[in-house]
Amino acid sequence: MIIFYLTNQAQLVDLFLLSVKVHHSEFALLPAKYGQLTYYIFAPAMTIQLLKSKIHRVRVTESNIDYVGSITIDQELMDAANLIENEKVQIVNVNNGERLNTYVIRGAPGSGVISLNGPAARKGLVGDIVIVISYCTIDFEEARSFKPTIIFPDGHNRLTSRD
């Protein structure tokens, strides 16, 4: 935490501009009074982790133990779920209860591919049903109105609906 005492309005403007630049680094500018003096505290803002995206119940179509690692996901499902390549995701296997963290690799659009690669291939079999989840870190107040993207593919990993 950093405390500033300002002697004029121009310093407040400069400090405000600094706080805007640093705001995305999870800090906030908070005013505080002590008698007639106003201090400004540059302190960490409260953030929480929320569900960002979810692909609910897709079927594993491939398992490739010799790949470097990750999960390959059909590009159309990625786009619909608001996922990007290399994004960290959690995979929950409905069939065996396994959970793992990995990253996303873009699969061919319209292919329906869901491939567990590398060590992840040990956590599920072709035909298993998995849930793909990503999270975001967001300011607590912004989190109140944030809406995650949730999609519900059919048994062939084609998009049928979204929440």
Q: 47-162 in CATH: which number?
A: 2.40.40.20
Q: Domain boundaries in the chain?
A: 2-44, 47-162
- Percent of the chain past pLDDT 90, that is, above it, reads 63
71 Cβ neighbours under 8 A, 6+ residues apart: 89, 91, 102, 103, 104, 105, 114, 115, 116, 117, 120, 132
pTM for the full predicted model: 0.76
Q: Over the chain (163 residues), what is each successive 10-residue block's mean pLDDT? A: 50 53 56 71 78 98 91 98 98 97 97 97 97 94 94 94 67
pLDDT given at position 10: 53
Enumerate the active-site residues: 70, 103
